[in-house]
């Protein structure tokens, strides 16, 4: 029987997992990137990438954009709308990743990763602007009904 991510983290302290989805693009790629997830040693900090499990059983890997008293405000790098995640849902934190099949490891402490973090605000602004025409169109058509 295959172990859950929670079991792997409890037994080994860390695990290697392939990513699925585009919510963390351009950092992580659908079925091409592998993340190194560790059991959280303490409360997460802003900019940490948290692995959490929704009550539906779905695993989600998104970035902490704000630490709240009872949880975290979390947002994927390729998403516009954050969500509130209770601290109890968080099962791991990303320590590093392999962006593709090349085998090159990138630590979350590396200068390359830190440089990427500095571009996040600009990336989010661009994403918001690219989505603006669709939002305006939906709003305009909702008034016609």
Residues 22-53: tens digit of each pLDDT = 999 999 999 999 999 999 999 999 999 999 99
Give the 3-state secondary structure of residue 79: coil
Q: pLDDT of 72-122, one tens digit each? A: 999 999 998 899 999 999 999 999 999 998 889 999 999 999 999 998 888
Identify the pLDDT of residue 134. Answer: 67
Task: Please give the backbone phi and psi of residue 120, each rounded to the nearest 5 degrees, phi first.
Answer: -60, -45
> CB burial class (10 A; 0-12, 13-18, 19+) of residue 33?
buried
> CB burial class (10 A; 0-12, 13-18, 19+) of residue 134?
exposed
**Cα(103)–Cα(25) distance, integer angstroms:** 18
> pTM of the full predicted structure?
0.85
> What is the pLDDT confidence band of residue 142, given thresholds at 50, 70 and 90?
low
For 48, residues 6+ apart whose C-beta sits below 8 A from its C-beta are 63, 64, 93, 94, 108
**Cα(107)–Cα(116) distance, integer angstroms:** 12
54-58, 87-91, 119-123, 132-136: which range is least confident on average? 132-136
Identify the pLDDT of residue 33. Answer: 96
For 4, residues 6+ apart whose C-beta sits below 8 A from its C-beta are none
User: What domain range is 39 assigned to?
Assistant: 5-144
Q: For the chain, give the longest Cα–Cα distance.
A: 57
The number of folded domains in the chain is 1
Give the 3-state secondary structure of residue 50: strand
> CB burial class (10 A; 0-12, 13-18, 19+) of residue 57?
exposed
């Amino acid at each position: 029987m295959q172990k859950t991510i929670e079991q792997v983290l409890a037994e080994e302290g860390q695990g290697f997992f392939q990513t699925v989805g585009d919510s963390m693009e351009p950092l992580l790629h659908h079925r091409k990137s592998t993340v190194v997830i560790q059991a959280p040693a303490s409360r997460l900090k802003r900019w940490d990438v948290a692995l959490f499990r929704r009550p539906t059983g779905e695993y989600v890997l998104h970035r902490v954009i704000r630490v709240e008293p009872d949880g975290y405000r979390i947002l994927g790098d390729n998403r516009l709308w954050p969500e509130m995640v209770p601290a109890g849902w968080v099962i791991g934190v990303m320590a590093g990743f392999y962006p593709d099949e090349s085998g090159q490891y990138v630590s979350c402490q590396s200068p390359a990763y830190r440089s990427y973090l500095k571009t996040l605000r600009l990336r989010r602004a661009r994403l918001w602007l690219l989505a603006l025409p669709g939002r305006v169109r939906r709003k305009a058509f909702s008034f016609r009904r």
